[in-house]
Amino acid sequence: MSDSQFKISTWNINSVRLRAPNIKAFLEAEAPDVLCLQEIKCQTGEFPAKVFNEAGYPHHHVLGQAGGHHGVAIISRHPLEPVDALPLCREGQARVQAAKIGGFEIHNIYLPAGGDEPDPEKNPKFAHKLDFLACMARDYAAAPADVPRVLVGDLNVAPHENDVWSHKQLLKIVSHTPVETEALEKARSDGGFTDIARELHEDGQKLYTWWSYRAKDWAASNRGRRLDHVWANDAAMRLVELSSYRIHLGWRGGWKPSDHAPVSTTFKRA
């Protein structure tokens, strides 16, 4: 990590073992200081550490899960110190982790998608999602405000009108319903976080990080959603200036891609 800047990337990779070559190529091309992965779909001991060691990222904090579900990982060029994650997931799934790196706490989150029916009475997965969001608001509001904190990950909510391809058509679709967007905004606001994407890009600009596998030509149809986020709390924002926010669109295509594109933010130290 240079004294002048710090680059962090986040990527729902949808199986770290299957897409290890993609990740290695991304690291070689973009050279982030830290890469946070979600949906690694492996147990902790199955994580392909050798690939990342060879790429120059020898420091790993991995939280896997049996059965090939969920899972998150933080990989870094620089030493990291795992810290206790907040108890956000009532189901005990591998969705939340945190580590200290270079003076910042990095929180990596894979929020539940919530299923297809946006009704917590009928759909337990959606109820779980809303509970997770409520826990985020509660626990980040109570977290020490003087700790520089960056929160990244697949939060599975597209909060703004221009974070989806059609605001009107997706208002009743899970990931963009008012109950979800309001809950995510409460979590962000109560936790004292800035949404880096919208800090650097006007609300009128369309921003997407996810495109469904179901589309025959995802790029042509461009029916995307911004599900992947980078937030920084006030203590972190006082230490840095925002340099760039980038959605790496090209990595959504190519060989066996994830349905998410990686996202990077570069902070310049103030």
Do 53 and 83 contact (CB within 8 A), yes or no? no
Beta pairing, strands 193-195 & 72-76:
unpaired
Query: pLDDT confidence of 245, banded at 50, 70, 90?
Result: very high
Q: Which residue type, as a one-letter code, is found at position 50?
A: K
Using DSSP's 3-state secondary structure scheme, residue 115 falls into coil
Query: Residue 269 has what pLDDT?
Result: 82
Q: pLDDT tens digits for 224-242?
A: 999 999 999 999 999 999 8
46-74: average pLDDT: 96
CATH number, domain of 27, equals 3.60.10.10
Query: pLDDT confidence of 33, banded at 50, 70, 90?
Result: very high
166-177: average pLDDT: 98
Query: Residue 3 has what pLDDT?
Result: 67
Please, what is the average pLDDT of the chain? 96
Query: Residue 158 has what pLDDT?
Result: 98
DSSP assignment letter at 164: B
15-21: average pLDDT: 97
Q: Hey, which bits of 50-190 come out as E strands?
A: 59-63, 72-76, 81-83, 96-101, 104-110, 149-154
Query: pLDDT confidence of 2, banded at 50, 70, 90?
Result: low
Query: Residue 4 has what pLDDT?
Result: 84
φ, ψ for residue 156 (rounded to 5)? 55, 25
Domain count of the fold of the chain: 1
| Torsion angle, alpha carbons of 242, 95, 257, 255, to 10 | 110
Do 267 and 242 contact (CB within 8 A), yes or no? yes
Query: Residue 36 has what pLDDT?
Result: 98
Do 108 and 72 contact (CB within 8 A), yes or no? yes
Which pTM value belongs to this model?
0.97
**What is the C-alpha separation between 228 and 129, in angstroms, rounded?**
15
Do 236 and 193 contact (CB within 8 A), yes or no? no
Structural domain range at position 36:
5-269
